[in-house]
Amino acid sequence: MRVCIWGARGSLSATFNAERARAKVKAALEIAVEKGIDSTTDLDEFIDNELPFSVRGSYGTNTPCIQVEGEGDDYIICDCGTGLRDLGNRVMSERQGAPGAHFHIFMSHLHWDHVQGFPFFVPAYIPGNRISFYGGHPGIEKVLREQQSEPCFPVHFDNLGAEFDFIRLKSGQKLDVAGVSIEIKAQYHPGGSFGYRFEKGGKSAVYSTDCEHKSATALADKGFVEFFNEADLLIMDAQYSFAEANSIKEDWGHSNNIIAVELSGMAKVKTLCLFHQEPVLDDFQLQKFLEDTKEFSQLAEYRPENIIMAQDGLCIDL
């Protein structure tokens, strides 16, 4: 099973401007001077082997959207953040614009950062495509229609070319879609949210974003430990630091990196992917957040085998 991340920022898209680009260039030049590179240096090798990811790359700017490998013309997607636009463009390129695709979109919830990319999802405009929305909220269709009504957007939902259907799910329900077994679980978030566990060919991936695990109660919540149990990949909301989550941002509906390590460790998760990143953090700060999380994990009684940071365009083969 392959899982691809197309957007991982929470709340709103992150800023990448000239100031942040300059900081990366300056950091690269400082390392180049330290390493003593010259005209004989293989620059690609230098970039790949000497520059940290926060300098040579980027964790990205898009809001939440992930893709789970389906079969044939079936595509499995979670959430419609701005990353959905990039995913749609990739699908259009790979299919050379051909219709006949069926997109199965599983919604965690209906806050704007999880729906705002849909008006720019090109496959929705192509007759012959089909889009099925799944979720535990009753108002998915209403929210999408209102987002594309005046004065918010010039193209009304009724003018989209694809066919649509909406499937209401309940917590604990299991279903099979495009060769993948899927389970849904209710989560703690303002207005409610839902996580999804995907299983295929003996591999499992869990998408659990926009869920607040309180420090005092999270480890006693056996329901989530069972939901995460022995997942090969857990994409989990870890927007805040432990200090933020237990002070000024308590009850905002998001979890912290410490709880993510401990819960995933108790569940014997193989790879924990930190997700729903704080949009004000730049790549250098996210890199430190990841390093701090890994450092803490060495002290934790329970920890996953591996910890990574979500990034736009990252594909993980399980």
The tokens for 172 are 């604990």
Q: How far apart are alpha carbons 197 and 232 in whole angstroms?
A: 11
Give the model's pLDDT for residue 218. 65
Quick one: fold of 2-14+59-317?
Metallo-beta-lactamase; Chain A (3.60.15)
Compute the mean pLDDT over every residue in the chain, rounded to the nearest whole number.
Answer: 95
Convert the pLDDT of each residue in 172-189 to its tens digit. Answer: 999 999 999 999 999 999
Using pLDDT thresholds of 50, 70 and 90, give the confidence band for residue 309: very high
Whether residue 151 is preceded by a cis peptide bond, meaning omega within 30 degrees of 0, is yes
Q: How far apart are alpha carbons 78 and 68 in whole angstroms?
A: 8
pLDDT-above-90 percentage for the chain? 91
Mean pLDDT, range 249-254, rounded to an integer: 86
Cα dist from 245 to 9, 100, 216, 260, 286, whole Å: 17, 45, 12, 12, 16
Convert the pLDDT of each residue in 261-290 to its tens digit. Answer: 999 999 999 999 999 999 999 999 999 999
3-state secondary structure of 254: coil
Convert the pLDDT of each residue in 199-248 to its tens digit. Answer: 999 999 999 999 999 875 666 677 999 999 999 999 999 999 888 888 88
Mean pLDDT, range 159-175, rounded to an integer: 97
Q: How far apart are alpha carbons 277 and 279 in whole angstroms?
A: 6
Token pair 């308590």: residue: 250
CB atoms within 10 A of CB 34: 9
Q: What is the CA radius of gyration of the chain?
A: 20
Q: How far is CA 239 from the centre of its chain?
A: 11
Contact 208, 276 (CB under 8 A): no
Question: Is the dihedral angle over the CA atoms 118, 120, 121, 125 positive or is it negative?
Answer: positive
Give the model's pLDDT for residue 182. 98
Give the model's pLDDT for residue 242. 84
Mean pLDDT, range 63-72, rounded to an integer: 95
Residues contacting 43, CB < 8 A, separation 6+: 37
Give the model's pLDDT for residue 217. 66
Give the model's pLDDT for residue 219. 67
Q: How far apart are alpha carbons 290 and 177 in whole angstroms?
A: 33
66 or 241: which leads in pLDDT: 66
For the whole model, what pTM was predicted? 0.94
Cα dist from 216 to 129, 220, 229, whole Å: 47, 8, 21
Convert the pLDDT of each residue in 93-125 to its tens digit. Answer: 999 999 999 999 999 999 999 999 999 999 999
Give the model's pLDDT for residue 222. 79
Domain chopping of the chain, boundaries: 2-14+59-317, 18-53
Contact 227, 187 (CB under 8 A): no
Q: How many Cα atoms occupy the beta-carbon half-sphere of 85 within 13 Å?
A: 12
